[in-house]
Amino acid sequence: MAVLTIDNLAVEVPEGSTILEAARSAGIHIPSLCTLPEIHHSPGACRVCVVEVERSRALVAACVYPVASGMKVKTSTRRVREARERVIEFLLSDHPRDCNICQKHGNCELRQVAELVGRREISVPCTDFSVHDIDDSTDVLVRDMSKCIHCLRCVTVCADVQGVFLLTPEGRGFASRVVPAMGHCLADSACTFCGQCTVVCPTGAIVEKDHTDRVWAALEDPSTHVVVQEAPAIRAQLGEEFGMAPGTLVTGQMITALRRLGFDRVFDTNFTADLTIIEEGHELLHRVKTGGKLPMITSCCPGWIKFIEHFYPDLLPHLSTCKSPQQMFGALAKTYYAQKQGIDPATVFVVSIMPCTAKKFEAARPEMRSSGHRDVDVVLTTRELGRMLRQAGIELAVLPEGEHDAPIGRYSGAGTIFGTTGGVMEAALRTVYAVVTGKDLPSLDVTAVRGLDGIKEAALEIGELGEVRAAVVHGLGNARKILDRLAAGQAAYHFIEIMACPGGCVGGGGQPLPASDEKRILRAGALYHDDKQVQAIRQSHENPAIKALYDGFLKAPLGKKSHDLLHTRYTARGI
């Protein structure tokens, strides 16, 4: 342990701690912008957290400066305050002033830190701004480098967490900026659209493309039948948009809120999550039995799909051919549901509420039109739905709980846990075990695949199949590790679940901000709670709505209709 003095306060912290950590442990909040310890990101770049260390010539950045016993630190002397004010002034002098119309309004760390630092004027000339073209090339993310404060968090999350290495600083001095590799626009790049950059960006430099206007338009169009599906994670996230504690389950309020917005039907993606388990479980069994490509890897995560398409195209045959629950939903909404309801599929408008930015890309993929129309019309992130509800003046917390509409709203606990890492695997194992052995798993809680470890493994004896080995991976950086092993023939698994985002969908690129691992764990906990305590049915194959779907429409898993509507193919892409 090191004992040091901070603002005349004796502080004891472990060796190797930074001054920032030591100060925060002592209740002294040093403002900081660039550092993000959760992703091990401390470039010492923004210089907001400078403090005075006795006998040091210049001020030092508290976020990177290691403590030492006997060190004397002052965190708010005049010199420190003036320096911090200048740094903030520099940042503000090169930042657009249109805060009030910025998407990050209310969630902007620059504004929060500027407030803490307390700069009240800009005395340097700011006639010269960093002006960069806005990268609006995709329907998913919008990058506006004029709002960038060069914290480099996006670079680190993209490289070190997600292993994509797409974003990189280029240029020098004032002209330096963060760009996709080779200066390509996002549309031409190997971006997976996981959106983790939007999660870590302290300002509005990288945000999801807002599609709320499209939804408003559809809702206001009387000739359109607007249905909505919500991803599993949404019910565990949406409350945060309204100041509720992370991990608050708001399923019922969410349904009511969506109805009040004017959706004609409120369904649920959890339904197609159950369906995915049926299709994917049978696909796995089929592969195992017929000597198909193993391990089979899940395919519900669009960020992950784009990643493998770019970086490991040779491994594409390992992917399950199942579409994601979102797309299965879209296909069914415009076929099964439309038929059942007797309405023209062309008038059905499918809106998805997803904790994800990549879903926007997935919905727009050309192969996702098996209903004869674009299966999913608009994808909104949790944040966008929050915005819409606030626009509509709907106060989530006080709403009565509603119920999903039939026929594609009912779901099992297995469908719910899709929203967290390990959930798909757990749900699949429950059903596969039951299908193979005809019995339920001795314990439906497969705890080995839960939690935030980057790569989790489980092995299960499943009747005639013998030992089934499974791995669960979240975060594309971890995906890279397991794919490298797979490519090297060192991944003797039967089934692998891969989710692009750390923590799975509860940590998705569209999640409420600010995000943290702590919140991800609480959200996952809410989903497990829903599975165990709320839902009467915990296994997908037991969902009566699923049974009805097969009986009345699909006939059998992996059948012709399933093949047409619920399965897809993949495209090898360059880097």
Closest separation in Å from C-beta 50 to other proteins: 5
Rank residues 52 and 268 by Cβ distance to other proteins and give the closer one.
Answer: 52
Among 189, 320, 324, 370, the one annotated catalytic? 320
Task: Report how many residues bind other proteins under the rule CB under 8 A.
Answer: 40
> Counting contacts by CB under 8 A, is residue 16 touching other proteins?
no
Catalytic annotation, pick one of 54, 367, 401, 403: 367
* Cβ neighbours of residue 558 closer than 8 Å, sequence gap 6 or more: 279, 282, 283, 286
Q: How far is the CB of 528 from other proteins (least distance, A)?
A: 40
Marked catalytic residue, from 309, 362, 426, 542? 362
Q: Respond yes or no: is residue 147 known to be catalytic.
A: no
User: Least distance (Å) from other proteins to the CB of residue 197?
Assistant: 18
Residue of 1, 27, 55, 58 that binds other proteins (CB under 8 A): 58
Nearest to 431 by CA among 538, 507, 519: 538
Task: Check whether the bond before 514 is cis (ω within 30° of 0).
Answer: yes
Whose Cβ is closer to other proteins: residue 91's or residue 332's? Answer: 91
Strands 348-354 and 378-381: parallel
Judge contact between 73 and 66, C-beta under 8 A: no
Q: Is 115 a catalytic residue?
A: no
Partners of 74 in the β-ladder: 52
Read off the DSSP letter of residue 136.
-
Nearer to other proteins, 43 or 514 (CB): 43
Give helix 212-220 / helix 382-391 axis angle, nearest 10°. Answer: 50
What are the φ and ψ backbone dihedral angles of 134, each rounded to 5 degrees? -75, 130
| Stretch of 41-49, 199-207, 357-365, 464-472 contacting other proteins, by CB under 8 A | 41-49
Is-catalytic flag, 359? Answer: yes
Give min distance, CB of 328 to other proteins, in A. Answer: 43
**Alpha-carbon gap, residue 130 to 205, rounded angstroms:** 12
Q: How far apart are CA 119 and CA 89, in angstroms?
A: 7
| Selected range binding other proteins among 87-95, 224-232, 379-387, 546-554, rule: CB under 8 A | 87-95
In this chain, which stretch among 45-53, 208-216, 224-232, 473-481 interacts with other proteins, using CB under 8 A?
45-53
Shorter beta-carbon distance to other proteins: residue 151 or 297: 151
Q: What sign does the CA torsion over 158, 163, 167, 168 have?
A: positive
Site stretch for other proteins (CB under 8 A), options 80-88, 239-247, 290-298, 384-392 = 80-88
Active site residue 320: yes
Query: CA-CA distance, 155 to 106, in Å (whole number)?
Result: 23
Strands 225-230 and 265-266: parallel
Residue 152 makes contact with other proteins by CB under 8 A = yes
Amino acid at 557: P
Single out the segment in contact with other proteins by CB under 8 A; choices: 170-178, 259-267, 456-464, 479-487: 170-178
Q: Among 146, 176, 224, 347, which residue sits at the site for other proteins (rule: CB under 8 A)? A: 176
Query: What contacts 24+ positions apart, CB below 8 Å, involve 217-224?
Result: 218/349, 218/351, 218/377, 218/378, 219/261, 219/262, 219/263, 220/262, 221/349, 223/347, 224/347, 224/348, 224/349
Candidate list 61, 228, 417, 486; residue touching other proteins; CB under 8 A:
61
Quick check: 86 binds other proteins (CB under 8 A)?
A: yes
Query: Does 459 sit near other proteins (CB under 8 A)?
Result: no
Measure the CA–CA gap between 517 and 367, rounded to whole angstroms.
35
Q: Phi/psi at 218 (nearest 5 deg)?
A: -65, -40
Cβ–Cβ < 8 Å for 75, 62: yes
Q: Which is nearer to other proteins, 6 or 61 (CB)?
A: 61
User: Minimal distance in Å, beta carbon 177 to other proteins?
Assistant: 8
**DSSP secondary structure letter of residue 131:** -
- Asked about 279 being catalytic, the answer comes back as no
Q: Which of 174, 182, 188, 286 binds other proteins (CB under 8 A)?
A: 174
Rounded CA-CA distance 18/179 in Å is 30
Q: Which is nearer to other proteins, 70 or 466 (CB)?
A: 70
The CA distance from 116 to 398, in Å, is 33
Residue with structure tokens 């994601």? 324
Active site residue 367: yes
47 binds other proteins (CB under 8 A): yes
* Geometric angle at alpha carbon 352, from 348 and 356, rounded to 5°: 155
Site string for other proteins, 119-148 (x = CB under 8 A): ----xxxxxx--------------------
**From 158, 197, 201, 505, active-site residue:** 505
90 contacts other proteins (rule: CB under 8 A): yes
44 near other proteins, rule: CB under 8 A: yes
- Residues lying near other proteins in the complex (CB under 8 A) are found at 42-48, 50, 58-59, 61, 64-66, 79, 82-83, 86-87, 90-91, 93-94, 123-128, 149-150, 152, 168-169, 171-176
Q: Which residues are catalytic?
A: 280, 283, 300, 320, 359, 362, 367, 505
